[in-house]
A = this chain, B = another copy of it.
Amino acid sequence: MAGYPKGAQPQDFIKGWPHPELLSRAELRAALTESFHKGLEMSEETLNYGDKANGAYMLGHPRFLQGLAKFLEQQYQAPTDPKTLMSTIGASMGTDLCFRIYGKPGDICVFEEPTYFLAFTMARNSFLELKGVPIMEDGMDLDALDKVCTESEGKVKFVYTVPIHHNPTGYSMSNEKRVRLMQLAKKHKFLVIADEAYQLLNFGKTDMKPLFYHDDKEDPRVFSIGTFSKLIGPGTKVGWVQAHTSLLKPLTDIGFIDSGNNPVIFSSMNLLHFVESGALAKHIDAVSKDLGERCQLICRKLREVGLEVYEPKGGYFVWVKSKGKKTGKSGEATAIKKDKFHDYMRLCFCWLTREQIEEGIEYLRP
């Protein structure tokens, strides 16, 4: 690699993937194996559509939803009713379902800009119109949101937000803004899709609960979208939507679920023991510690080469304004019209080894 300073090397910061060692830990394999064994002992019901007492498990297997509720209750330190949970094949399926059931062509969805760029496709799949408002270090610009809603005269049906460990910026929405967002939701009658894929991936203590816990049971407007994908591994494809029952139940009316049933009966029940035994909580601690160290490393190294960075308290990414050389994913795609953030880079610190992180950031030194 002639021409680069010693130890400088372009690296793949694009992939938002966990590094393979996290997925092949002996403790993880042993715990999953045990869990699958126990799952298969229930194959009589986990391989069917449902059972006589409960009918078809449209929202998910009742025992999995109970186990998940208990797990989330411990993680969130907040009461969690299994009746507010639906199992899904991951976070994206949850977002897609909300758009499909509650949206109609021409409805507006407002996004933070920059945001998780693949959410745009999901909104477009439901023929929605997309509008953007800026994001700030304490979350979405709510004055701008209020203005967009007022100007759009009732056409804003959804606000899509990544309120914790935001992709790509790493910001989290403050509790004050969460309260105000829900006031705006009531005022303008929109629904909030809170993509909380990183909610349980924290590098330290957090006092932030899912947006669901800021919702009003009497006038519910929030879908809190969760997943095991960032915790166990993206292949897992078991996630959930948390919402008050009157909002949640219509999600099962989508044709492919009405026909095929809840999509993760078998796979979620095979994970039940892993969740209930405490093995998942332990695994999350190990993953968070490992990724937190990588996050510290990349931020230290970025500052060392003279680049500014907001150090996130969880998640997968840092968001950096380039001073010339670029790497990682271009920020261009993170704006609706691709008209902003050309100079920004989204860098994932989870895929590379520590050495590769150092080499890849050294390469950026102006």
Contacts and interface: CB of A to CB of B under 8 A. Distances in A.
A76 interface: no
Contact of A43 (B15, B29, B255): B29
A270 B37 CA distance: 13
Interface in A46-78: 46-50
A230 B266 CA distance: 14
A326 to B, nearest CB: 21
Given A20-B48, A32-B43, A44-B20, A266 B233 contact: yes
A263 interface: yes
Contacts of A270: 36
A119 interface: yes
A127 interface: yes
A23 B44 CA distance: 5
Contacts of A45: 20, 23
| Interface bin, chain A | 35 or more
A29 to B, nearest CB: 5
B40 A29 contact: yes
Contacts of A50: 17
A296 interface: no
Given A229-B260, A255-B122, A258-B118, A235 B46 contact: yes
Contacts of A18: 48
Interface in A305-324: none
Given A17-B48, A33-B40, A44-B20, A237 B258 contact: no
Question: Copy number in this complex?
Answer: 2
A7 interface: no
A306 to B, nearest CB: 31
Nearest to A22: B47
B260 A237 contact: yes
Interface in A83-100: 89-93, 95-96, 100
A307 to B, nearest CB: 27
A47 B33 contact: no
A234 B263 CA distance: 10
Contacts of A8: none
Complex A-B, nearest 8 residue pairs according to Cβ-Cβ distance, in ascending order = A47-B233, A121-B255, A122-B255, A92-B260, A235-B266, A118-B259, A92-B259, A24-B44
Interface of A: 15, 17-18, 20, 23-24, 28-29, 32-33, 36-37, 40-41, 43-50, 89-93, 95-96, 100, 105, 116, 118-125, 127, 229, 232-237, 253-261, 263-267, 269-270
Given A23-B43, A48-B235, A92-B260, 14 more contacts: A17-B48, A20-B44, A23-B45, A33-B37, A36-B36, A36-B270, A43-B233, A47-B236, A49-B234, A49-B235, A90-B256, A92-B255, A121-B253, A237-B260
